[in-house]
Amino acid sequence: MPRGGGSRAGTENAVTVHTVDPLCDGRWNEFVARHNSASVFHSHAWLEAVHRTYAYTPVVYTTSPPSSPLSNGIVLCQVNSWLTGCRMVSVPFSDHCEPLLDSPGAAALIAQELKMGVSAGKWKYVEIRPVMQFASIEGSAVRSPAGYLHKLDLRTPLDAILRGTHKTAVQQPIRRAEREGVVSESGRSERLLNAFYRLMVQTRRRHQLPPQPIQWFRNLLACLGDHLQVRVAFKDGNAIASILTVQHKDVLVYKYGCSDVAFHNLGGIQLLLWQAIVEAKTAGLTSLDFGRSDADNAGLIAFKERWGAKSSELTYLRWSRKPNANPAGRYSSSLARRLFAMMPDTVLQTAGRLLYRHIG
């Protein structure tokens, strides 16, 4: 899809499906700002960071005419890869990205337009990552279970939130961190980013996966500005844990977390998350989005539930020329995972820089 607008006549009531460039058309910013279901993954800042890092082309499909404010839209990014094929994803490296729709008719027309693109051979597949169910879309799409989304309600009193956490997995580690003199810093400096990234490389190695390139995180910092915070826990001057959080409207998103396994007993991650919750409450935020967990990642699911976060199933929707094809970016090869675990840091980081461009 070329940058800029376009349109195609719909099949009912002469409604037309248009395309909008969300990086250039100010109507998208205005629409995201006023829509209750919009998240950070819809934002100009997130799309700009994705575009800068991976050169994916973002585009919005809408039935709103070019001369009118937007009343609906599905934002996607076109991923062009010689390795994994050309496809449309809503949106890359997001946990979820709700279609922002105002009527079943508009939803059906946009879905039909996307299906036609797949049928015509423009894309290998189109993937939508909703939170809610959309009957007008789901009837024509293949459902792909993606895992669970966890959210913590921050509208309850702070002491009640703490009481609702797991005693031994959350409360005791927080007290241990405080007792052991673990200190934390938050901000957007290169020093904090480098500390975060060193821990990220260690963590991804433990999971037998390459890290995303550091340029991705630098672009997130540049594009999201003060809405992003890098939080690092230190013990005797050594970085032992770090999290990256993003604020969008009244929601705080816990996007990345990493740690040094040698210091897990000091409760660095628990301390950082609790401090983030306290700050979010003070700022009047209403929800903490813990993000997606794969269904087979029992440890991550348990970690989030021990904070009192409530889970809901995430099901992605896909129109594909090969409905049973595996999603791009799934490292299913046990040999590849073993190799990632053994690579030196510089080689592992290079692998991530080369591979993530093809994942989306």
pLDDT, tens digit, 9 for 90 and up, residues 271-298:
999 999 999 999 999 999 999 999 999 9
8 A C-beta contact, residue 154 and residue 281: yes
> Cα 52 from chain centroid?
16
Residue 150, CA distances (Å) to 269, 290, 294, 319, 360 in order: 17, 5, 11, 26, 22
Name the least confident of 42-46, 49-53, 122-126, 143-147: 143-147
Query: What's the pTM value of the predicted model, to 2 decimals?
Result: 0.92
The confidence score (pLDDT) of residue 10 equals: 42
Positive or negative torsion for Cα 149, 273, 36, 227 = negative
Could you tell me which of 246, 227, 236, 238 has the C-alpha nearest to residue 195?
238
Per-residue confidence band for 1, with pLDDT thresholds at 50, 70 and 90: very low
Please state which CATH number belongs to domain 150-313. Answer: 3.40.630.30
Domain 6-147+315-328 CATH (choose: 3.40.630.30, 1.10.10.370, 3.40.50.300, 3.40.190.10): 3.40.630.30
Could you give the percent of the chain with pLDDT greater than 90? 83
The average pLDDT across 200-228 equals: 96
The count of other CB atoms within 10 Å of the CB of residue 330 is 8
The confidence score (pLDDT) of residue 2 equals: 41
The domains spanning 6-147+315-328 and 150-313 adopt the same CATH topology: yes
Could you tell me which residue, 10 or 185, shows the higher pLDDT?
185
Structure tokens at 348: 């592992």
Q: At what angle do helices 44-54 and 26-34 cross, to 10 degrees?
A: 130
The confidence score (pLDDT) of residue 343 equals: 85
Structure tokens at 164: 């609702």
The average pLDDT across 48-60 equals: 98
The domain segmentation of the chain, as residue ranges, is: 6-147+315-328, 150-313
Beta partners for 183?
234
Model confidence at 332: pLDDT above 60: no
Per-residue confidence band for 18, with pLDDT thresholds at 50, 70 and 90: very high
8 A C-beta contact, residue 301 and residue 313: no
Residue 1, CA distances (Å) to 6, 9, 349 in order: 9, 17, 31
